[in-house]
């Protein structure tokens, strides 16, 4: 069986994306890799970091060979302006989005098996006039999928989110039974398909303090979450909740669960990142393509310093390879 072919988008060029992609490529990786980004930016960054690298332009068609340490194929996607480490430039945002579009195209055309994304800067893309909240939502829209689920996983903990990148003031209104059921079905299916867990156990957090305290501290648990869970339990899903989020993340509960569904970004991700920052992987569940990513952002202040850790990117690549292997075994990928 041939190695997994991975497209690696290099992310925001002023951030650490280029650095971590280059560092990853210096080491053995049991896959075929193609970076999607600006070739000159990568060459200049490698030189600044003092890393001798062979960066080879890729034409988008020639079959990719197994990765060789110190070498990297690059699907050249030119930036509009020269890249300056640490200095965001909205003029370069269209090219950043183009790297994502090209990665999606390659995956949908079967030229790569999965995409792995380095971090982008959401703010500068918006400054460029494009409404953008994250890869998760962008990739869903680009692949024509109505609902996807963000899952971050590291050191044995898996945390999925019922809502992703939206202001806290809009979270409660965004929760409804139907979406919650779809989210849980996607999570359940992914735990079975991609993580090999035959009968997944999922803990579901409440939204309000103490899961609403019987309706005295909010009614979303009674009106939205509990009815959604009841309906899914009738379908056979093993769900516990809605549980108070403050004590859900304790060993007594986690030992008996395969994943947690948090209601919003900063209910679940601070716990996950406290537990496994730098080692965790962000996976978009429910896409028609495999997409994994890092657990961190653009860390502009570390760009070109040599101090950016590539451990989360390495974990994202490893997870993508495992997902490709698992889907091939199930006959879902050639």
Q: Applying CB under 6 A, which residues contact ligand 4TP?
A: 134-136, 265, 269, 282, 293, 295
Spatial separation of the C-alpha atoms in residues 17 and 299, rounded to whole Å = 9
Q: Which stretch binds ligand NAD (CB under 6 A): 27-35, 81-89, 261-269, 299-307?
A: 299-307
Nearer to ligand 4TP, 90 or 123 (CB): 123
Q: Which of residues 124-143 bind ligand NAD (CB under 6 A)?
A: 135
Q: Is 189 in the site for ligand NAD (CB under 6 A)?
A: no
Q: Please tell me the count of residues contacting ligand NAD according to CB under 6 A.
A: 18
- Range in contact with ligand NAD (rule: CB under 6 A) among 102-110, 194-202, 294-302, 317-325: 294-302
- Please identify, using beta-carbon distances, which residue of 152 and 191 lies nearer to ligand NAD: 152
Separation between Cα atoms, residue 100 and residue 22, nearest integer Å: 18
**CA-based nearest residue to 78, from 47, 21, 38:** 38
Cα–Cα distance, 227 to 250 (Å, whole number): 25
Interface with ligand NAD includes 292 (CB under 6 A)? no
Place of tokens 């680009």: 142
Strand-pair partners of 65: none
Q: At what angle do helices 135-142 and 93-108 cross, to 10 degrees?
A: 50
Do residues 37 and 10 make contact, with C-beta atoms less than 8 angstroms apart? Answer: yes
> Is 5 an interacting residue with respect to ligand NAD (CB under 6 A)?
no
How many Å apart are CA 72 and CA 57, to the nearest integer?
9
Q: Which does 269 bind (CB under 5 to 8 A by kind): ligand 4TP, ligand NAD, none?
A: ligand 4TP
The yes or no reply on residue 314 touching ligand NAD (CB under 6 A) is: no
Taking the C-alpha atoms of residue 236 and residue 244, their distance in angstroms, rounded to an integer, is: 23
Please identify, using beta-carbon distances, which residue of 67 and 121 lies nearer to ligand 4TP: 121
């Amino acid at each position: 069986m041939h190695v997994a072919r991975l497209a690696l988008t290099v992310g925001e060029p002023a951030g650490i994306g280029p650095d971590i992609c280059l560092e990853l490529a210096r080491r053995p990786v049991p896959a075929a890799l193609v970076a999607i980004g600006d070739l000159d930016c990568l060459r200049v960054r490698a030189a600044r970091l003092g890393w001798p690298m062979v960066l080879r332009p890729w034409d988008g068609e020639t079959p990719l060979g197994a990765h060789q340490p110190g070498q990297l194929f690059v699907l050249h996607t030119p930036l509009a302006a020269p890249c300056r480490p640490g200095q965001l430039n909205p003029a370069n945002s269209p090219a950043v989005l183009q790297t994502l579009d090209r990665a999606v195209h390659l995956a949908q055309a079967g030229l790569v098996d999965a995409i792995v994304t380095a971090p982008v800067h959401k703010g500068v893309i918006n400054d460029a006039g494009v409404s953008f909240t994250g890869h998760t939502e962008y990739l869903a829209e680009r692949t024509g999928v109505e609902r996807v689920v963000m899952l971050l996983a590291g050191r044995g903990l898996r945390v999925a989110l019922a809502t992703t990148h939206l202001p806290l003031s809009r979270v409660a209104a965004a929760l409804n039974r139907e979406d919650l059921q779809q989210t849980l079905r996607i999570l359940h299916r992914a735990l079975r398909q991609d993580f090999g867990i035959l009968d997944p156990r999922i803990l579901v957090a409440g939204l309000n303090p103490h899961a609403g305290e019987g309706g005295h501290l909010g009614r979303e648990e009674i009106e939205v979450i509990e009815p959604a869970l009841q309906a899914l339990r009738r379908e056979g899903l093993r769900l516990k909740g809605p549980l108070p989020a403050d004590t859900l993340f304790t060993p007594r509960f986690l030992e008996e669960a395969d994943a947690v569904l948090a209601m919003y970004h900063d209910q679940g991700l601070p716990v996950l990142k406290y537990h496994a920052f730098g080692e965790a992987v962000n996976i978009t569940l429910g896409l028609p393509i495999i997409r994994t990513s890092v657990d961190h952002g653009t860390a502009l202040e570390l760009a070109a310093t040599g101090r950016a850790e590539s451990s989360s990117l390495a974990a994202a690549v490893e997870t993508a390879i495992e997902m490709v292997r698992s889907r091939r075994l199930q006959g879902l990928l050639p």
